[in-house]
Structure formats: C-alpha cells, structure tokens
C-alpha cells in the first residue's frame, strides 16, 4: 500500500514527450511499450520529475483540479502503482536498472 510520504522518480528506461493536447506519451525502452497519460496523469508525471511525495501530489491535485481529498489520493495512488508495475517509475532510493543491451 502506498504511503503519503512515498516518493518515486521516472525510470531512466523511460523517454517521454508532451503532445499539443496536454497528454504525455511514455516509451519504456526495456519493454518497447508505449503508454499515454491524460492531462491529469501528465501533471502527476511532471511532479514525479520534481521528486514530490505522493501526499504532496495528492494535495496539488486537490487544488489544481478541484477534487476531494479521497478522489485525489485514489488517483495518485492508482497511477503511481500502475506506473511502478510497468517499470515506468522507481521508488526514490532504488538502484537504476541495468541498461538494455
């Protein structure tokens, strides 16, 4: 279970680009799989690069998108869990994975 003090960082195996519509496309170099984040997910991706904690992201989401604390936390928690499962983010302090050959 995710803790509000948890923080993650984008994996070095991920390349991202922002589209004109505000979405972000991610390419996981190790698996060669693409992912698309909607504008809300894109905002969370930006906060990951700034090394914000899950709790900080949830608070920012509440303010920026005018959502309830429960909905903001659920969104942050679900997205971070999914990104971690797909090896798109790493917990802060984790070693970088070996580069694909």
CATH number, position 32? 3.90.930
The number of distinct structural domains making up the chain is 1
Residue 2 confidence (pLDDT) above 90: no
In whole angstroms, what is the distance from residue 65 CA to residue 87 CA? 27
Domain span at residue 60? 11-87
The string of pLDDT tens digits covering residues 41-92 is 999 999 999 999 999 999 999 999 999 999 999 999 999 999 999 999 999 8
Task: Tell me the mean pLDDT in the region 17-33.
Answer: 95
**Sheet containing strand 14-18, strands side by side:** 14-18, 24-28, 33-37
Name the band, by pLDDT with cuts 50, 70 and 90, for residue 94. low
The pLDDT score that the predictor gives to residue 25 is 98
CB 25 within 8 A of CB 45: no
For residue 24, being part of any structural domain is answered with yes
CB 98 within 8 A of CB 15: no
For residue 60, being part of any structural domain is answered with yes
């Amino acid at each position: 279970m995710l803790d509000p003090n948890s923080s993650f960082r984008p994996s070095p195996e991920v390349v991202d680009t922002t589209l004109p519509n505000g979405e972000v496309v991610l390419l996981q170099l190790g698996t060669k799989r693409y992912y698309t984040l909607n504008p809300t997910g894109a905002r969370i991706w930006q906060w990951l690069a700034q090394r914000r904690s899950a709790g900080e992201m949830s608070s920012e989401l509440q303010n920026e998108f005018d959502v309830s604390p429960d909905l903001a936390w659920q969104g942050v928690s679900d997205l971070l869990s999914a990104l971690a499962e797909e090896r798109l983010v790493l917990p802060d302090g984790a070693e970088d994975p070996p580069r694909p050959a």
